[in-house]
Amino acid sequence: MTKESITIGLVSISDRASSGVYQDLGIPALRDWLNAALATPWQEVARIIPDEQDEIESTLRDLVDHEGCDLVLTTGGTGPALRDVTPEATLAVGDKEMPGFGEQMRQIGLHFVPTAILSRQVAVIRKQSLIINLPGQPKSIKETLEGLKDADGKTVVQGIFAAVPYCLDLIGAPYIETNEAMVKAFRPKSAQKPQA
């Protein structure tokens, strides 16, 4: 069976990383996680931009409308600080809000720190693309996408990525498969393609 490929936009939103004050860690963390988690071939379109709402909006529009990204993952700019405007920019470019993603991301974070309730991450659909705001820290990115397992490998809290492939199916994006040892994509039986 030939697997389609998927185009994923990776956006790090940080004043300091975009100006070269420090090295961005968000995009490398996302890239490493996706390389390990996806069984479907993928290519990235990466951007490092400052916390400026207009620039975030134009970047997200460009990634979906011109670069053809099926999935866009952002890191950074989701807290309550005055410069944190990633959720506002994401909501401004979305056609539909997907509130379950933000709810689950906060639920995962609360297993580690009480300040997870300060996170304002959102997810939206723009055309046939899913845009998700993720945390900025590499450890938190992994936990949010993958979820939490106990010492025996049993899932304690579902990561959000388990729902991403089926969401992409429903909006007409490519069918993607995951490395089930890391994250098992959930699809109803009727939506699963037969194994080759």
Residue 18's DSSP bridge partners are none
**Collapsing DSSP states into helix, strand and coil, what is residue 23?**
coil
Residue 155 in tokens: 């899932």
What is the C-alpha separation between 11 and 27, in angstroms, rounded? 7
- What amino acid occupies position 74? T
pTM over 0.85: yes
Distance, CA of 125 to CA of 106 (rounded, Å): 19
Residue 89 burial (10 A CB sphere; 0-12, 13-18, 19+) = buried
Strands (E), the chain: 6-13, 42-49, 71-75, 96-97, 123-126, 129-134, 147-149, 155-158
Class of domain 6-190: alpha beta
* Tokens at 170, concatenated: 């429903």
Return d(Cα 193, Cα 96) in angstroms, integer: 27
* Cβ-based neighbours of 104, under 8 Å, separated by 6 or more: 158, 160
pLDDT digit string (tens) for the chain, length 196 residues: 344 799 999 999 998 888 888 899 999 999 999 999 999 999 999 999 999 999 999 999 999 999 999 999 999 999 999 999 999 999 999 999 999 999 999 999 999 899 999 999 999 999 999 999 999 899 999 999 999 888 887 888 889 999 999 999 999 999 999 999 889 999 998 888 876 5
Beta pairing partners, 8: 44, 71
* Helix axes of 26-37 and 138-146: crossing angle, nearest 10 degrees: 30
